[in-house]
């Protein structure tokens, strides 16, 4: 009954690699992959790294309690709940914004949670996830407040561990500002301090109406949807492209490393593909699909 790790490719008809887990590693309760060659196994207090060929790369046992999967959720009353999976056991409860619905965005490295309230003047906050997952007795969670970013829209740059892009009204002119920050945790024996560094900022041109959707691609590209229009900027404000292929407003947008898909009230999908050129990737219109209903176009 020794455990075996098998790696498959979807189009292959047989196993590509099989690895026997050494007896020193207890049966894992969590398994993740990094890149195409590295496997991460969690067993109680231990995190072990293997190559898919069976070579043990590293082992860590730094946690004071067993590693588990935790789900951070928000409710309409403004509270954040950290729940241990799969039992949904309550780990911690924190009030982010009293009696105000909260929207959450998790960073790509899962170390940060951006919490905001869309329709209020409450300042958005970023929580250090570890302080929610492993709360200390009588200690508040580790967080920082973005005092100048009222009524924000935000997204994380997917190719960076903790690069946050925030769009908010400028305090003086009320023109929209897009600011990009990088976050890191500075740890000492006594506490964890959040270090926020602004790396870019620009004013959104008057020619672009206030966007209703905001996404990011890679580490440098921002996608904004405003009515019929899809506009791409660099994080420093360089306009890279603009598309107006739909006949009615765009209702949603999907962005991944290969493509962008927009849907619209004109009952069509527009598909774009990324092409790597020079410093920034270029988005090319590829094709469109017709059909559906207004019920599902939203």
Residues of the chain below pLDDT 70: 1, 9-25, 34-35, 44-47, 49-68, 119, 292-298
| Residue 164: count of CB within 10 angstroms of its CB | 26
The pLDDT, as a whole number, for residue 12 is 39
The pLDDT, as a whole number, for residue 150 is 79
Label residue 262 exposed, middle or buried (CB < 10 Å: 0-12, 13-18, 19+). buried
What is the β-pairing status of strands 17-20 and 30-34? unpaired
The pLDDT, as a whole number, for residue 128 is 95
The pLDDT, as a whole number, for residue 292 is 63
CB 7 within 8 A of CB 23: no
The pLDDT, as a whole number, for residue 160 is 96
| Residue 153: count of CB within 10 angstroms of its CB | 20
The pLDDT, as a whole number, for residue 155 is 97
The pLDDT, as a whole number, for residue 14 is 42
Closest by alpha carbon to 168, among 227, 217, 207, 118?
Answer: 118
CB 219 within 8 A of CB 232: no
The pLDDT, as a whole number, for residue 61 is 56
Q: Rounded to an integer, what distance in angstroms lies between the CA atom of residue 179 and that of residue 200?
A: 6
Q: Residue 294: enclosing H or E segment and its boundaries? A: helix 294-297
């Amino acid at each position: 009954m020794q455990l075996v790790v098998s790696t498959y490719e979807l189009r292959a008809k047989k196993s590509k690699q099989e690895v026997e887990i050494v007896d020193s590693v207890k049966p894992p309760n969590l398994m993740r992959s990094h890149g195409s060659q590295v496997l991460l196994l969690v067993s109680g207090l231990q995190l072990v790294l293997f190559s898919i060929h069976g070579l043990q790369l590293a082992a860590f046992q730094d946690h004071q309690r067993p590693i588990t999967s935790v789900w951070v959720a928000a409710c309409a009353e403004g509270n954040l709940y950290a729940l241990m999976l799969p039992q949904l056991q309550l780990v911690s409860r924190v009030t982010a914004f009293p009696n105000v619905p909260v929207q959450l965005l998790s960073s790509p490295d899962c170390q940060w949670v951006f919490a905001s309230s869309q329709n209020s003047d409450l300042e958005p906050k970023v929580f250090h996830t570890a302080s929610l997952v492993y709360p200390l007795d009588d200690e508040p969670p580790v967080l920082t407040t973005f005092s100048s970013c009222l009524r924000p829209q935000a997204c994380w740059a997917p190719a960076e561990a903790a690069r946050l892009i925030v769009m908010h009204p400028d305090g003086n002119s009320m023109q929209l500002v897009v600011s990009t920050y990088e976050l890191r945790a500075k740890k000492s024996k006594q506490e964890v301090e959040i270090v926020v560094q602004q790396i870019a900022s620009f004013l959104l041109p008057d020619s672009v109406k206030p966007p209703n959707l905001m996404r990011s691609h890679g580490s440098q590209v921002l996608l904004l949807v405003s009515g019929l229009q899809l506009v791409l900027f660099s994080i420093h404000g360089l306009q890279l492209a603009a598309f107006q292929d739909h006949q009615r407003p765009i209702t949603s947008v999907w962005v991944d490393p290969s493509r962008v898909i927009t849907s619209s009230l004109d009952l069509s999908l527009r598909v774009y593909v990324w092409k790597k050129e020079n410093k920034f990737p270029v988005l090319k219109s590829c094709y469109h699909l017709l059909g559906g209903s207004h019920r599902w176009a939203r």
